[in-house]
Structure 1
Amino acid sequence: MSGGRVVAAKIATLDDSSMRSRMLDDLYPSARASTSTVIEPSEQEISNLPLHPRHWMKVIDAFSIPRLIYNADKKYFEASKSKPTLFPHPSHKTALFRDRYNIIYQRLLRNESFQMSLHSSDMPSLSRSSSSFAPNQCYKLTPVANLLGRSGTSHLLLGLLSVSPTGDLSLADLTGSIALELSHARMIPEDGAWFAPGMIVLIDGIYEEEETIRGSTLGGNGGIGGAIGGRFIGVSICGPPCERREMSLGTNNQQSTKEINSTGGFGWVDFLGVGSERARGPRMRQIQAKCLQDLQEATDDSCRTKIAIMSEVNLDNVKTLDALKRLLGRYNDMPLGERPMAFVLIGNFVHQALINSGGQAGSIDYKEHFDSLAMVLSEFPSLLQRSTFIFVPGENDPWSSAFSAGAASTIPRHPIPEQFTSRVKRAFATANAEPAQSQSSYPSGEAIWTTNPSRITLFGPVHDIAVFRDDISGRLRRSAVSTRQDPGNTTGMDEATSHEVGYTSPREGLVNKAERTEAEYNPISSTVNVSRKLVKTVLDQGTMSPFPISLRPTLWDYASSLHLYPLPSSLVLADPEAAPFCMTYEGCHVMNPGRLVPEDDLSIVRWIEYDFLKNRGKVRVMR
């Protein structure tokens, strides 16, 4: 510490490092496994490390991600003390939503629209004609329980949108719940996001007390199950504003400098088990720069920073196998430096769910499909020797599909069982056994079978790629809440036409600055608009599954693996029902590969080529 700030220190001795570690353990006992001193490595230390990007790539399954819980009292993340189980105590279900609420609440309070400024001239004007807030005041949240006795007044509420036992919409927070009336509410931005039960939303409106509600005399003294009497008439509804990754970690884009900002953030928390941003970030960036420099100077293998991502790889379809063969053949004909360092294959790997019933041995057929994949991969030993193949299952893959019949099963879900993947592993072992590869200094190729969802990290906490396979767009359309909309304005986010998507009108409450291009006033197709709605909805909620347990079953004790806080560097949201897209929202690059072989045109192949160094993806099409 120097002047109240954490600065890059010289190479510490073993005694100094141990002493500092003990001091940090005393300050943050919950982060004991993730914190360490900021020690700048020497050039000799870096040169002795493996300097190939694939050495520093790690696939983390959902069941290996640290189970962290936000402590609202200490305002810090703590490791869960309970042992995870598939049959936890019912209180864990309540804790799941309470933890989501606390994370979004603390994130919201750091937004500039909720912070009181010392100078009134510095405050943004966020008032509306329907709001009782003064022009030079910041937004203030009102707990639901504090609405009692304040009939006819305007308030801003943050809570969980849910359906009450009577079938009506309600909003609940940690203090209580209240019935909602959204028939006159306006969405902010217009048609810019979905709002469904299970999501945490911001609603601005007016509270009205009633002597009787639904036939029960409740007055203002409180109702059953924590519900207060009356109703809340919503005027506007929006999602909680998202927060950039560097803001959550407290780095504020100062990774390149030796001085690290120590004001706020969770930079010392190890969210994925690969080290925290403050402890390992600067060192990993130096290693990354050295790796890329050495690879560019090499003659046989230049800078390989690309990852090929393909989704809905139905192996039971001959067209898919042929398309996969042509795609791999295209990369096999490229020079070594232009080939992807990894291939991500996302399910469903079969079109129909695996069900062992009706006298049909579905598991035998499923293994034969992967045997066919092994035959295709065996034709390209050069790719198997120098690339990593990652397999992410879908809803139709075993074993959960044997019970769900292809419907929504519990998440996170386990990888594909080993008894189906033996031939594929044998193909990699055969390719790596060749003399040319055994004498190579580069890491051998491998096949990794991971969970859904999963994380891919490169150089520790520097690059974080989240991968999730789900039919989320269709589920959002089916369960979204509809309000009265202006029929003359259906474009929604037309003002933000660049790849950087954000809130639009600065007159409508919480505003994030949208980065725009010269084409900001050009019309946007409905496909792009739907893609932006999907991206904004998911990232604003800070979770991959913003639905109630009844609609999207979730393992309670592993719900933290679905969190998108802090935002990952990129998110692969594989949804075959949505059109392929690549766009950036608040610094997080979101990609959807779509179907490898589209159903409407079987003559083309679509996938995404992602460059992790530039944090940009591009949809590729090949006929």
Structure 2
Amino acid sequence: MDKPSTPRLPLSARGVADPIPSSSPAFGTPVKPVRTGKSSSLHAKPTVLPVLLPPSILRPVAFRTFTRKHNLTLSSNALQVLATFVGQNCGSKWREEGLAERLLDEVAKIWRKNGGGVIVEEGNGTSLQSILQSIENNMVSGRVTPGKVTDREDRPKLQRNGTAATGTNTTSTPIEDEDDDAEHNDTRKWIKTISAFEQPRLTYNPTNKHFETSTTKPSLLPQPSHQTAFWRDRHNLVHQRLLRNESFQTSSFASNVTQSYKISPIVNLLGRSGSPHLLVGLLSLSPTGELSLTDLTGSIVLDLSHARPVPEDGAWFSPGMMVLVDGIYEEEEIVRGSVLGGNGGIGGAIGGKFLGISIAGPPCERREVTLGLSSIHSSRDIGTSGGFGWIDFLGVGSERAQGQRMRKLENRYLRHNTSGESENNRRNMVIMGEVNLDNMNTFDALRHVFKIYNALPFEELPLGFVMIGNFIEKVGFGQGSGGNSIEYKECFDTLASLLSEFPALLRHTTFIFVPGDSDPWASSFSTGAASPIPCKPIPELFTSRVKRAFTVANNEYDGSSTNSIPGEAIWTSNPARVSIFGPVHEIVVFRDDISGRLRRSSVTFSERASQPEGTDHSNLAGMSVDDTVMKDDAEDKNSESPSVLATRKLVKTVLDQGNLSPSPLTSRPVLWDYASSIQLYPLPTALVLADSESPAFAITYEGCHTMNPGRLLSDGKRGPATWLEYDVLKNRARVRQRGN
């Protein structure tokens, strides 16, 4: 007689999919169909017994993971959120089995990949809550399932919670939806135009040493306190830049102590009469009409009668600039420069005066240093260390989140042609300044320029045309003889007719229009004076005919043969920024007659003995000038022409100040809530200073290629047309004229 045995379960019941037997195993009851699928409640992930985890207990593990391993800093609120999340999802085994450390490491990786800031907190570049939610949906027994976290991104989005980072895309597809093997092999799809009103509004926090996104709603008529915040943020930005400079850092080796500079707050001058100090602050005019220096602690009257500018005749110094002054404090009982008089104190005017010995602008900081780019390898990969590489200054992705990938795309699109044999010839941008459309000679010059590029094959067409105003030569739009809306629209209608003669340019290039002070509507209220910056784009009321010309040209052409995206016209603000391949190339375009304003308001220093012949201008070292610029002004090739020296002086002043408008608000008004759009920190890769009062030039200083297209027609009459041809890959421009 055989031994009794329990009937075996059906194969379906013994499978891996459903290992639990039926309710009556002795009778071999078949497993119910409802229990066979993966959605069965019996297959829910094992539960974890939650624990209450105080943030102080988790802090050592979080510090080891976020700070030491990923170079990130946790805010107290973020630590509280993570402690609650770890306690609920990892349970009592968060420490013994290392579940918390693995979880925090995954959070840090996703935070960095999403372009979050150095300080981990909600709204600082990405959403911490969304990261934790995506991780929670893919956790089993307190462990993150490998390869199933859906919120991992290789590139940040253009717009995130808590930021105002939206960019004007030249195509209808944002960056995050682009693929490396996209259908169109056209560099123009990586060109993004960012208006000053769409750029992220970032302010520097000196306490956390970090940039923060402004949470207040911007206004064209803000509270007076916003002006104070505007000057304070500008001072903090320059001050932290100075402290990062190695000349202001003390050596840690006692045997090799080098001289380092130490900045003294103005309030520390009290009681130190006759002692030397180095001050940094805002150069301004006091209520009594005397020059004064102001920082966050107070102000003091300056005596620059014996001061020496550094470098000698190499930069402008005018009210509204941040300057370094080295000198001696001379105490007096009466507070000079104060309206009320009396003794000075903290936060007000300091009694006495400061005898300046030398005055200089804050030293410029290269873009690579600001973003923490230590080196660029042969593979175009970048090593990073320190800096603000995690900050998304333009809303197109931070350097550390996007830089490596975008440089690979640059290598693919610009360094190789369609056959992959040599560099791509389609990498130029044409820049024209002071395009006065109410002058009929301008259309003759434009027709000549367009004919030059329209005759080129598709592989050599420029990427785009940057046309900069003033588009109307008359001063004061809507003010008497300053022009009216009908006349202004007719100017652009004529431009649309001219563009229709060159359909190849309309189909394969991007036109970017930047207004000037005489363009509507800001000039309607300025009456010829400098209008506030940033200025809004030209209203669509005047530009509809130009846009229609692009639409007609694209509808009549099938671009499948050239594998390119349609051409378009973009109307942006002044200033504006053009991003190419994300953070790799940043081009700032600004229309302003800044050189004349600096000459009129600059400080005049006492005369000294004239310099001997053959003086070495080494104080301007680091600048390289295009040899085609202002060549007619230099009679001797071995000597620097006055125009070149004046150009170097202008470029050094603007880039050292790190601001597009280093002038008082009375001479160049600024919209306080949009002041971050005029900052030049970090330095852009290229800067277009469209100054109609200066000749065309192209100069490189501290890695920033600065150029001025000048006037399209130098005398406003029939004559040679002048414009710039900018090579994006080489980051160099050359001045071209009709017939060259």
Name the TM-score class by shorter chain. Answer: 0.7 to 0.9
- What SS class does the counterpart of residue 655 from structure 2 fall into? helix
Identity, % of aligned positions: 55
Show the 5 A alignment for 1:560-579.
Answer: 560-579=676-695
Question: 2:420, 2:497 → 1: CA distance?
Answer: 32
Q: Is there any run of 5+ residues in structure 2 with no aligned partner, and where?
A: 1-64, 72-102, 129-150, 157-177, 626-635
Deviations along 1:566-610, one digit per CA (max 9) or x if unpaired, are 000000000010111101110000000000010187410110000
Show the 5 A alignment for 1:599-618.
Answer: 599=715, 602-618=718-734
Which of 43, 46, 51 is the equivalent residue of 2:185?
Answer: 51
Residue 131 of structure 1 is matched in structure 2 by none
Question: 2:548, 2:512 → 1: CA distance?
Answer: 15
Q: Is there any run of 5+ residues in structure 1 with no aligned partner, and where?
A: 8-13, 124-135, 503-519
Show the 5 A alignment for 1:249-328.
Answer: 249-254=371-376, 261=383, 263-292=385-414, 295-297=417-419, 302-328=424-450
- What SS class does the counterpart of residue 212 from structure 1 fall into? coil
> Do residues 191 (structure 1) and 284 (structure 2) align?
no
Residue 230 of structure 1 is matched in structure 2 by 352
Q: Is the 8 A contact 2:454 2:502 kept in 1?
A: yes
Residue 28 of structure 1 is matched in structure 2 by 120
Aligned-partner residue type, residue 528 of structure 1: V
Deviations along 1:209-228, one digit per CA (max 9) or x if unpaired, are 11335599999952596011
Question: 1:265, 1:319 → 2: CA distance?
Answer: 49
Question: 1:4, 1:360 → 2: CA distance?
Answer: 63
Which of 500, 503, 507 is the equivalent residue of 2:623?
Answer: 500
Q: Is the 8 A contact 2:314 2:620 kept in 1?
A: no
> Do residues 176 (structure 1) and 310 (structure 2) align?
no
Show the 5 A alignment for 1:333-352.
Answer: 333-352=455-474
Deviations along 1:453-505, one digit per CA (max 9) or x if unpaired, are 00000011110000000010000011111111325139997336777269xxx
Q: Is the 8 A contact 1:209 1:219 kept in 2?
A: no
Q: TM-score, normalised by structure 1?
A: 0.87
Residue 504 of structure 2 is matched in structure 1 by 382
Instruction: Measure how far apart 1:203 and its partner are.
Output: 0.3
Instruction: Measure how far apart 1:400 and its partner are.
Output: 1.1
- What SS class does the counterpart of residue 374 from structure 2 fall into? coil
Deviates more, 1:337-346 or 1:432-441: 432-441
Which of 536, 540, 548 is the equivalent residue of 2:652?
Answer: 536
Which of 287, 290, 295 is the equivalent residue of 1:165?
Answer: 287
For the pair shown, which has the larger CA radius of gyration, 1 or 2? 2
- What SS class does the counterpart of residue 157 from structure 1 fall into? strand
Q: Is the 8 A contact 1:543 1:563 kept in 2?
A: yes
Question: 1:27, 1:224 → 2: CA distance?
Answer: 32
Q: Is the 8 A contact 2:471 2:518 kept in 1?
A: yes
Query: How has the CA–CA distance of structure 1 residues 122 and 342 changed in structure 2, closer, same or farther, with 3 Å as cutoff?
Result: farther
Question: 1:191, 1:48 → 2: CA distance?
Answer: 52
Aligned-partner residue type, residue 455 of structure 2: D
Query: How has the CA–CA distance of structure 1 residues 107 and 31 changed in structure 2, closer, same or farther, with 3 Å as cutoff?
Result: same
Deviations along 1:363-419, one digit per CA (max 9) or x if unpaired, are 100111111111111100011100000000001101111111232001101011101
Question: 1:550, 1:493 → 2: CA distance?
Answer: 37
> Do residues 71 (structure 1) and 205 (structure 2) align?
yes
Higher relative contact order (CA 8 A, sep 6+): 1
Deviations along 1:129-188, one digit per CA (max 9) or x if unpaired, are xxxxxxx43110110000011111111000000111111110000110000000110000
Instruction: Measure how far apart 1:52 and its partner are.
Output: 1.8
Question: 1:34, 1:471 → 2: CA distance?
Answer: 42
Q: Is the 8 A contact 1:34 1:268 kept in 2?
A: no
Query: How has the CA–CA distance of structure 1 residues 485 and 353 changed in structure 2, closer, same or farther, with 3 Å as cutoff?
Result: same
Aligned-partner residue type, residue 411 of structure 1: I
Instruction: Measure how far apart 1:26 and its partner are.
Output: 9.3
Instruction: Measure how far apart 1:6 and its partner are.
Output: 5.8
Which of 231, 252, 257 is the equivalent residue of 1:118?
Answer: 252
Aligned-partner residue type, residue 562 of structure 1: I
Question: 2:551, 2:386 → 1: CA distance?
Answer: 48
Query: How has the CA–CA distance of structure 1 residues 34 and 55 changed in structure 2, closer, same or farther, with 3 Å as cutoff?
Result: farther
Instruction: Measure how far apart 1:360 and its partner are.
Output: 8.7
Query: How has the CA–CA distance of structure 1 residues 216 and 295 changed in structure 2, closer, same or farther, with 3 Å as cutoff?
Result: closer
Q: Is the 8 A contact 1:211 1:217 kept in 2?
A: no
Q: TM-score, normalised by structure 2?
A: 0.74
> Do residues 367 (structure 1) and 489 (structure 2) align?
yes
Q: Is the 8 A contact 2:428 2:464 kept in 1?
A: yes
Deviations along 1:300-351, one digit per CA (max 9) or x if unpaired, are x953110000000001111111000001001111222222110000000111
Residue 18 of structure 2 is matched in structure 1 by none
Instruction: Measure how far apart 1:5 and its partner are.
Output: 6.5
Alpha-carbon RMSD = 3.4
Deviates more, 1:25-34 or 1:394-403: 25-34
Question: 1:180, 1:265 → 2: CA distance?
Answer: 34
Deviates more, 1:30-39 or 1:606-615: 30-39
Aligned-partner residue type, residue 570 of structure 1: A
Question: 1:308, 1:389 → 2: CA distance?
Answer: 10
Q: Is the 8 A contact 2:475 2:482 kept in 1?
A: no
Query: How has the CA–CA distance of structure 1 residues 607 and 259 changed in structure 2, closer, same or farther, with 3 Å as cutoff?
Result: closer
Instruction: Measure how far apart 1:358 and its partner are.
Output: 4.5
Show the 5 A alignment for 1:578-593.
Answer: 578-593=694-709
Residue 61 of structure 1 is matched in structure 2 by 195
Q: Is the 8 A contact 2:688 2:707 kept in 1?
A: yes
Query: How has the CA–CA distance of structure 1 residues 479 and 258 changed in structure 2, closer, same or farther, with 3 Å as cutoff?
Result: closer
Which of 399, 424, 432 is the equivalent residue of 2:546?
Answer: 424
- What SS class does the counterpart of residue 430 from structure 2 fall into? strand
Q: Is the 8 A contact 2:117 2:391 kept in 1?
A: no
Deviates more, 1:203-212 or 1:556-565: 203-212
